[in-house]
Structure 1
Amino acid sequence: MKSIVISQPGVLEIQQREIPQPADDEVRVKVIYAGVCGSDVHIYHGHNPFARYPRVIGHEFFGVIDQVGRDVMPSRIGQHVVIDPVVSCGQCYPCSVGRPNVCLNLQVIGVHRDGGFSEFACVPASNAHIVPKTIPALHAALVEPFSIAANITAQLKPTAQDVALVYGAGPMGLAVIQVLKKVFGVAHLVATDRIASRLDRAIECGADQVVTNQDAYLLDYFQQYGRAPTLIVDAACHPAILQQAIELASPAGRIGIMGFSDAPCMISQKDLTSKELAIFSSRLNSARFPQVICWMGDGKLNPDALITHKLDFNQVGVALHLFENEPAECCKILLEFPG
């Protein structure tokens, strides 16, 4: 089989490897589609401190189970599945309180262990979630990105009364916009980004209004609207955003942070406490795949609004370049593996 491997930072290879055999508690998946994510680019450049090389990247993938380990029911062969990349120990404190995404012994498929940019991949059977065949394969491949949105919104608890602001209209921001608007029906949603084409996609995903963040228009907009945002999500992941979000937020508002920047972030404690704001951070997903699959099956999500490119897996170099260097034209790229 062919596998896409980062052999060392900056070196991407398509290698010929032996088809793997599943361990007792694993299934083997014949990969059909795999999505390109910013974390794949970070591993390629050596910017992910958790990755070890060589590494088969890819943590967003859909396929069909073609073999099972000794402890897995043979009836699982032939199932259409998406793979939750979170592999947890089930024993530590975070796992015991339903937070396996921050397990003390966390392994992420495609980061700590080999992922789905390969013709075949072996994964724990419990991480392979059945997808109804009524959900198109292209859509199923996007369950993982939407699970990120499901995770942050589970903490923020949106309601139909909320006025929401989403910073960033890249893949994660657009997924958050869809979940906030199409699933929870927030009253009013504003998206902000520096790239006009991304703001067009935000409208397609359900935003009621878009504001460029290259200008100081956000405060003016909410003053004219007459209500401050009660729910803010930072999906742009810039350290300067948090203080602005604190200043913009309504008293008793909630702020969600999705970024991994290690740059210092200066905030005013007075601004935070005087409004009694709640700040939530979110990493990966905490067993959100079944919920997202249900939303997708019920037609509450529009994955097509995120997909801009579908490329043969042999074009992975092109895909990484597009993702990193063409944000105006590129949102979600799917790599197609041979059927």
Structure 2
Amino acid sequence: MLQQVMTAPGEICFQDVPDPAAKEQEVVVKIKRIGICGSDIHVYHGKHPFTKYPVTQGHEVSGEIVETGSNVRNLKVGQKVTVQPQVFCGKCYPCTHGKYNLCEDLKVMGFQTTGMASELFAVDASKVTPLPEELSYDEGAMIEPLAVAVHAVNRAGDISGGNIAVIGAGPIGNLVAQAAKAKGAGKVLVTDVSDIRLGIAKECGIDFAENTRKRNFGDAVLEHFGPDKADVIYDCAGNDTTMGQAIQYARKGSTIILVAVYAGMANVDLAVLNDHELDLNTTMMYRNEDYIEAIKLVEDKKIRLRPLMSKHFPFLEYLQAYKYIDENQEKTMKVLIDVQD
């Protein structure tokens, strides 16, 4: 079978390796689709701090089970599935207290261990989540980023009827906004500096979309939510400007949740954070329950994934996909790799 390998930043080759066989607790998945995310792009540019080369990528995937191990009982050949890419120890404090997404020795397929960018992939059955047959393989490959969004929204607790602001209208910001809406938020505002991404947010049913190059974030919050402002602000951009906006314009005593991976050390006004008694929270990946909820939201047609699908590339054109993303940053949301039909 063919396996993708990023040998160095900006360099990809394909190697022919033996087909995997399922061990007792494993299944072999025929990989169909792979999504490229922002972290993958960091690896492509040589800017991911926790990834070494060579590395086989691929962590947003969908596929079909083609073999099951002798001890696998809850999965079957022919089943449509996605895979949770976390590799955790199961022994540390977070793992033994239901928070394996925070494992002290956490590794993620495609970054610190072998990813799924290959025609076949053997994986422990516990990491495999069945997909409804009516979901397409394209949608299946986007369950992983949607699970990120679901977990982030859930970090705020019950948001029913609340006013929610999301800074950043990229794929994760869009999905956070959609998930908040789907989970009962009263009104949702999303901001960005790209009219294209804001247009996609509106297409996905988000109430308000504002370009903060043209309009002050605080003014937008006051217009759409009134003097009570936002109940929760999600920072899905992750830089000093966006976190600064969140801190400056949050209602006193409200909550800010950092979703994006912050690039470098932060330089923000902690004095205001303290003086306004703001709850600054964070979110890290997802757990199985977030995958299940994400799938249910798509199945119930409460999340629109197709407007986020920008372009498809064949498996052997993986490198061209990255070049396309670099050349079309503003208008690109999610690029999908078609591994097999």
Coarse TM-score class (shorter-chain normalised): over 0.9
Q: Kindly indicate whether the alpha-carbon contact (under 8 Å) linking 1:239 and 1:263 is maintained by their aligned counterparts in 2.
A: no
Residue 79 (1) aligns with residue 79 (2): yes
Aligned to 1:281: 282
Determine the structure 2 residue equivalent to 1:321.
323
Q: Which residue identity is paired with 2:78?
A: G
Letter in 2 for 1:50: F
Alpha-carbon distance between aligned partners in 2 of 1:332 and 1:322, rounded to the nearest angstrom: 11
The answer (yes or no) to whether the contact 1:59–1:115 under 8 Å persists in 2 is: yes
Per-residue deviation, 1:158: 4.6
Structure 2 CA distance for aligned equivalents of residues 21 and 52 of structure 1:
26
Q: 1:159·1:186 contact (CA, 8 Å) conserved in 2?
A: yes
SS of match in other structure, 2:40: helix
Q: 1:268–1:238: structure 2 CA closer, same or farther, 3 Å change rule?
A: closer
The whole-number CA distance in structure 2 between the counterparts of 1:46 and 1:266 is: 24
Cα offset, 1:222, TM superposition = 2.6
* Equivalent residue runs for 1:1-339 within 5 Å: 1-73=1-73, 76-181=76-181, 183-225=182-224, 226-227=226-227, 228-287=229-288, 288-339=290-341
Higher mean displacement: 79-88 or 251-260: 251-260
Distance in 1 separating the partners of 2:173 and 2:326: 16
* Amino acid in the other structure paired with 2:130: I
Question: CA distance change for structure 1 residues 198 and 28 in 2, over 3 Å: closer, same or farther?
Answer: same
- Checking the alignment, whether the CA contact within 8 Å between 1:151 and 1:284 is kept in structure 2 is yes
TM-score by length of 1: 0.94
Shift of 1:114: 1.4
Residue 10 of structure 1 deviates from its aligned partner by 2.8
- SS of the equivalent of 1:132 reads coil
Alignment partners' CA distance in 1, 2:74 and 2:96: 30
Deviations 1:193-229 (A, max 9, x none): 1111011011112221111121452222233342311
> Which range moved further: 86-95 or 18-27?
18-27
Secondary structure, counterpart of 1:263 in structure 2: coil
Do the aligned partners of residues 68 and 229 (structure 1) sit closer, same or farther apart at CA in structure 2, a change above 3 Å counting?
same
Are 1:191 and 1:211, in contact at CA under 8 Å, matched by a contact in 2?
yes
Q: Are the aligned partners of 1:177 and 1:206 in contact in 2 as well (CA < 8 Å)?
A: no
Within 2, Cα distance between the matches of 1:295 and 1:106?
27
Distance between the aligned counterparts of 2:75 and 2:279, measured in 1?
Answer: 46
User: Contact between 1:156 and 1:231, CA under 8 Å: does it hold in 2?
Assistant: yes
- Please report how far the alpha carbon of residue 231 of structure 1 lies from its aligned counterpart in structure 2 after TM superposition: 0.9
DSSP-derived class of the 1:58 partner: coil
What's the CA shift for 1:74? 8.6
CA contact (8 A) 2:236 2:258 kept: yes
Gaps of 5+ in 1: none
- TM-fit CA distance, 1:149: 0.1
Q: Equivalents in 2 of 1:65, 1:41: separation in Å?
A: 28
| TM-superposition CA deviations, 1:151-199 (whole Å, max 9, x none) | 1111112523321111111111111111011x12322211111111011
User: 2:260, 2:159 → 1: CA distance?
Assistant: 23
- Counterpart amino acid of residue 91 in structure 1: K
CA contact (8 A) 1:158 1:231 kept: no
Aligned residues: 338
Separation of aligned partners in 2, 1:253 and 1:325: 39
CA distance in 2, matches of 1:8, 1:83: 26
Amino acid at match of 1:192: T
Distance 2:74 2:185 in 1: 44
Q: Distance in 2 between matches of 1:52 and 1:150?
A: 29
Which amino acid in the other structure matches residue 326 of structure 1? Answer: N
Contact 1:171 1:331 in 2 (8 A): yes
In structure 1, distance between residues paired with 2:158 and 2:248 = 20
Separation in 2, partners of 1:69, 1:47: 38
Counterpart CA distance in 2 for 1:242 and 1:329 is 24
RMSD: 1.8
Deviation at residue 99 of structure 1 after TM alignment: 1.5
